[in-house]
Chains A and B, each alone.
Chain A
Amino acid sequence: MDFTDEPPSKKRRFLADHLDSDHVVAGPSSSPQGYLLKDIDTPVATPQAVTPPVAESPQLAFDKDTFEAFVGEKVAIDILHVISKNCGNDIERAVNMYLDGTWKKLHRAPPVRVNSHSPLVVGRQSPKKALTTPQQARSKPQAGETQFLPSMPEARYVGAFGVEGWATRSGTGLLRHGDIVKIERQKIQPPTVARKGQTKPGTPQSIPRVSAAAAKRVDVIVRFTDASGRELGRLAKDTANWVSTLIDQKVCRFEGICVYAPERLRTNETVFLQLKCYILRSAFFGRTVQLADNRAAGFHEKDETTEEKELRLRQVALVRLFQEINLVPSRGNAAAARDVRKELLEAAEMAEKKAMEHKAKAGDNNNGSASPSEEAEEGQELQQDQLDALYKKAQSFDFDTPEAEPADTFAMTLRPYQKQSLYWMLAKEKNQRTEDRETSMHPLWEEYTWPLKDHDDKDLPVVPDQPHFYVNPYSGDLSLDFPKQEQHCLGGILADEMGLGKTIQMLSLIHSHRSEAAIKVREAGPTSVNNLPRLPAASGQNTTVDAPCTTLVVAPMSLLAQWQSEAENASKEGTLKIMMYYGTEKNVDLLAMCCEANAANAPDVIVTSYGVVLSEFTQLAAKNADRLNSRGLFSLNFFRVILDEAHNIKNRQAKTSRACYEIAAEHRWVLTGTPIVNRLEDLFSLVRFLRVEPWNNFSFWKTFITVPFESKNFVRALDVVQTVLEPLVMRRTKGMKTPDGQFLVPLPPKHIEIVDIELSEPERAVYDYVFKRAKRTFFDNMQAGTVMKAFTSIFAQILRLRQTCCHPLLVRNQEILADEEEANMAADVAAGLADDMDLQSLIERFTATTDDASTTNNFGAHVLKQIRDEAVNECPICAEEPMIDQAVTGCWHSACKKCLLDYIKHQTDRNEVPRCFQCREHINIRDIFEVIRHDDDPETPSISTPGASPEPRISLQRAGANDSSAKIVALISHLRALRQEHPKMKSLVISQFTSFLTLISAALARHKIAFLRLDGSMSQKARAAVLTEFQSTDKFCVLLLSLKAGGVGLNLTSAKRVYMMDPWWSFAVEAQAIDRVHRMGQEDEVRVYRFIVKQSVEMRMLRVQERKKFIATSLGMMSDEEKKMQRIEDIKELLSSD
């Protein structure tokens, strides 16, 4: 193929040469003129003819002649008027408006039309190929019109096919074999007017612009007329359906020859025609421009429904056409072409049906434009096996990938697989593509050969260098250019599983690939400080200033500090300037700081949060402000942008996502362990952020990924996704093995153990009470069918039930709950529960037997010594030696705690006043003290004199019946045992209830167990401080972590034990928290203890977890409604009787 030797870019440059004085023209790749002009290479048609006016006017102002020269056809004066009014004197916009049809929207009032605009007559005479049709003969070229003739004729023959039609008039000799008939679209006008119009041939017909979508929905009539324009009949509906689309969308022009008609024609009689089909030149360009335009659509999502519908019609029509003229692809996915076409038709039909249903449901919902909430639901969830299959493909990591060494300013050592991804990332950024990909055809396109002979076997005119044309059956696009499989994206998705060091890999990239400007400046040394940032002359809203040295990192707030510290650790001193752009540190002029003129002092890395991006974006959008004036993130075109934990933008409708799309950068990367959380649309958002052509267009994406997928054509949809992913994604998993059988990162083993917790009797009473109540509410509502209505209340009760398992106090205390996410709904029910005297008294019973707050240690040393000495004796009651959990009475007599309590219970059960087993003093259960020995606490100094063999210190603590809730007691006993065994081990205590963490922290303090705390309510600075302290301490320490705050990103490998205090609905979320510890960098075995209350909802939650092990429903990935349905199912299971 000759034309591939001449890449489009070269031609674009040709255009730019002539427009070099014009800085308004955007980058060549996005310039629609580029598309328009690059194919015009016949001498007559070169834009040189238009250069004089261009040269004269550096602004390239709007000018009728230039404009017509650009669009290549005569334009009606009223259209010109509309366009000139709206283009802001910008020829580029004018051309765009004309070609993509935008002007039509502006052009409301039905104007007087010239034929050049009629869909029938889009084609103009081509001197090369004088396809003089009756219509064209009818159109009167205006004087002074300059004819620019492209190599591709206005219309080119592709084939012919036979059709049936039926006559609409009767008469003799109206139509004979061999007669040429014109094929026209029904004029959409009141029928009477239309008829009148037709009887006057040559009269310019105006076609009022009825809403295009509406018109096409109802009207598919295609008529054929004789040479004088008189209607003879119409095409059969079946054919008309798609022929009308091709005509309306200016894809084809048809010319008919009568094959057979009865001598005496009567209305409704069948005639046979042969239709010759010509593909219009405009078909090859219009849509591409439209795509580009749509992509640039800016801050607000466009309503894509009409466009999608047109696309669907076009798809079907093209497929039908190729079937009829029996044209098969000469290259492409030809083998399966027939199947593909069939599927495509089915998919389109399905989409149509769906659209109809949707419309029917939605009523007159603004042209069927879906509201955001509906949008949020779209896209089916992937089943786990599908997701697996997809990942499997994307994960076919080639272990022979070359490695790249990081720059010498990088201070860390990379593992081999990290060097491989560095190589890959460098290649992506520098656009080093492999040879074979350069020449391979885009997998979605098909190549067709222009016929050389027509249906009568006569030679057809040939256009040199254009033996083929290309069709994308999925999108309905046509092209004359060879569609290369090209990735313009100079970045990608690093989707390594958590713990494989994505951050480190990105940092190595930051070190190893710096922009040329950055290198130059750094070599030259600091420039003059007087060198103020140079602003571009014309500042448009979308203009940005280059920040050639700077990489922008956007990460969740909890990870900001980690990014900073890792960036510092990974860089040799002074080789990387890191700036936090967050909170108060935000008050800087980023624009001045990062622009090229300040390159020497610009930060290399700016770390910011999604929140900052969103708030700056909101400000920008609200004020509709100039990007440059904001002087913030959006004023710059960064060298590189990295989104960490990029599943944060998985919802393309979310504001944060849209804000991120708008970040300008040369290289765009996303980091995520889960590129697809649970639906294919998740991936779209990433692709959109990466600006991968053409996938970043949603309708495009939808057409060949969403729709096929939803029509159960999983294999193809996933294949396509894989085509998208393959060049973009680098993903390795922890489970991957190198060819020699080694794990990428050998991780020490991890053991998960469930610890059964038995509730104390008062706790059980509270639990049973709340349980019965929740169950009654739920089943009452089930019967009444009001479950969804009462959802909040039911859910809150379940929440209370789960909290009861942790600590009965959580049920009552609204105050500590205030920071809980569910606080609002919890409060509802709490109000109900709080009024409840029965529950109240149950809880009081619990509190009466607990003593969370006080520690009693004000005893004389001799008493303590005596008690300590007694501890080695045997228990006077059970004869255990030494006593188990020594406890003392108020009269200081020791026994096992259990024996003592049993005895007191024994006495009270007989209505006796409890007395001491030794001295028969009256004793009170409140005066029983537990003896706490601090021999496991290395920090507690011994009370004995220095030098003497240290005797363990003891303290007394009121025992009551319970130390605290059963779970806390179990946790404390685990921790104390751990402290005795590993006096320096660090551990994590995780709960989803921060108020529970508060209760735990009190218990830890009582037992002198050092702890730190990290939860969502803390500021970024405080979190960072906590993480640093936890990391650096070399003592026994517990980190209390809320499940929500600890779910993502954090690196807590210094801990070796994890205590999960309460189960979450899906284990995946817990697993994520566990993986904070069990991840790369972990050197020791990790033990995980999950505290589960026996015979409670918690046990059943484990079953729920088991059931949906594979669906990640819990991190807000489903719509609210879906989530609720799912929860109802769960709750039903939780409350059902065993």
Chain B
Amino acid sequence: MALPKRIVKETERLMAEPVPGISAVPHEDNLRYFDVEIHGPSQSPYEGGVFKLELFLPDDYPMTPPKIRFLTKIYHPNVDKLGRICLDVLKNNWSPALQIRTILLSIQALLGAPNPDDPLAPDVAKTWKENPDVAVATAREWTQKYALPQ
């Protein structure tokens, strides 16, 4: 199946005008599969970390949202152990007007502003709400442990 014009255009633009702190590179053998790296936002527990994600554009993209998952372990109330992300625009609030770029920006923003009220990892969320300092420290620790650039 030929790659839809939309995907071609998005990919080109991601290459030509990359978003600071974000990179997304398609696999050569599958142009719908992207290796993504997101830099942890500054003044967040994730600062200094580079998080790897995988991103896949399903056949009916952009009718359905891309499938996206953290590969790097991360301590975050909205990301579960498997790296799955709880984010409205990846679910109900998806719109075909959204793009890879905007989704990745949303994820970056999620790192800066975790939302423990709508958790995916309940234990993390609980800690985050009851004992925020411990949570932030753990997050920082994990970042140092798993997400430092090599």
Partner of B60, one of A874, A899, A906, A918: A906
Interface bits A871-890 vs B (CB < 8 Å: 1, else 0): 00010111110000000000
Interface bits B1-30 vs A (CB < 8 Å: 1, else 0): 000111001100000000000000000000
- Check A877/B93 contact, CB under 8 A, given A903-B63, A906-B60, A906-B63: no
Contacts of A878 in B (CB 8 A): 4-6
Contacts of B95 in A (CB 8 A): 915-918, 920
Q: Tell me, in angstroms, the Cα distance from A920 to B4 when the chains sit together.
A: 24
- Nearest residue (CB) in B for A912 is B92
- Nearest residue (CB) in B for A916 is B95
Q: Tell me, in angstroms, the Cα distance from A1002 to B93 when the chains sit together.
A: 41
Contacts of B149 in A (CB 8 A): none
Interface bits B114-127 vs A (CB < 8 Å: 1, else 0): 00000000000000
Using a CB–CB cutoff of 8 Å, the interface residues on chain A facing chain B are: 874, 876-880, 899, 902-903, 906, 915-918, 920
B6 touches A879 (CB 8 A): yes
Q: Is the interface of A mostly helix, strand, loop or mixed?
A: loop
- Check A920/B6 contact, CB under 8 A, given A902-B63, A906-B63: no
Shortest C-beta distance, A207 to chain B (Å), equals 101
Q: Tell me, in angstroms, the Cα distance from A920 to B94 when the chains sit together.
A: 9
Q: Tell me, in angstroms, the Cα distance from A880 to B96 when the chains sit together.
A: 13
A917 touches B97 (CB 8 A): yes
Contacts of B63 in A (CB 8 A): 902-903, 906
Contacts of B5 in A (CB 8 A): 878-880
B48 on interface, CB distance cutoff 8 Å: no
Shortest C-beta distance, A883 to chain B (Å), equals 12
Shortest C-beta distance, A639 to chain B (Å), equals 76
A-B contact pairs, 27 of them (CB 8 A): A874-B9, A876-B96, A876-B97, A877-B6, A877-B62, A877-B96, A877-B97, A878-B5, A879-B5, A879-B6, A879-B9, A879-B10, A880-B5, A903-B63, A903-B96, A906-B60, A906-B63, A906-B64, A915-B95, A916-B95, A917-B95, A917-B96, A917-B97, A918-B95, A918-B97, A920-B93, A920-B95
Q: Is the interface of B mostly helix, strand, loop or mixed?
A: loop
Contacts of B93 in A (CB 8 A): 920
- Nearest residue (CB) in B for A874 is B9
Q: Tell me, in angstroms, the Cα distance from A386 to B140 when the chains sit together.
A: 100
Complex interface residues of chain B between 10 and 68 (CB less than 8 A to chain A): 10, 60, 62-64
Shortest C-beta distance, B63 to chain A (Å), equals 4
- Nearest residue (CB) in A for B5 is A879
Residue of A879, A917, A920 with highest tally of chain B CB at under 10 A: A879
- Nearest residue (CB) in A for B8 is A879
Q: Tell me, in angstroms, the Cα distance from A903 to B96 when the chains sit together.
A: 8
Contacts of A918 in B (CB 8 A): 95, 97
Q: Tell me, in angstroms, the Cα distance from A920 to B95 when the chains sit together.
A: 8
Shortest C-beta distance, A879 to chain B (Å), equals 4
- Nearest residue (CB) in A for B60 is A906
Q: Tell me, in angstroms, the Cα distance from A903 to B65 when the chains sit together.
A: 12
- Nearest residue (CB) in A for B10 is A879
Complex interface residues of chain B between 76 and 119 (CB less than 8 A to chain A): 93, 95-97
Q: Tell me, in angstroms, the Cα distance from A1051 to B104 when the chains sit together.
A: 68
Shortest C-beta distance, B92 to chain A (Å), equals 8
Contacts of A915 in B (CB 8 A): 95
Shortest C-beta distance, A754 to chain B (Å), equals 28
State the 7 A-B residue pairs at the shortest beta-carbon distance, nearest first: A879-B6, A876-B97, A917-B97, A877-B96, A906-B63, A917-B95, A879-B9
Contacts of A902 in B (CB 8 A): 63
Extra A-B contacts (4), CB below 8 Å, given A874-B9, A877-B6, A880-B5: A876-B96, A879-B9, A917-B95, A920-B93
Residue of B4, B6, B62, B97 with highest tally of chain A CB at under 10 A: B97
Q: Tell me, in angstroms, the Cα distance from A880 to B62 when the chains sit together.
A: 13
Shortest C-beta distance, B93 to chain A (Å), equals 7
- Nearest residue (CB) in B for A875 is B6
- Nearest residue (CB) in A for B63 is A906
- Nearest residue (CB) in B for A876 is B97
- Nearest residue (CB) in A for B62 is A877
Contacts of B4 in A (CB 8 A): 878
Shortest C-beta distance, B108 to chain A (Å), equals 22
Shortest C-beta distance, B10 to chain A (Å), equals 8
- Nearest residue (CB) in A for B64 is A906
Shortest C-beta distance, B7 to chain A (Å), equals 9
Contacts of A917 in B (CB 8 A): 95-97
Q: Tell me, in angstroms, the Cα distance from A906 to B62 when the chains sit together.
A: 11
Q: Tell me, in angstroms, the Cα distance from A755 to B64 when the chains sit together.
A: 35
Contacts of B62 in A (CB 8 A): 877
Shortest C-beta distance, B53 to chain A (Å), equals 23
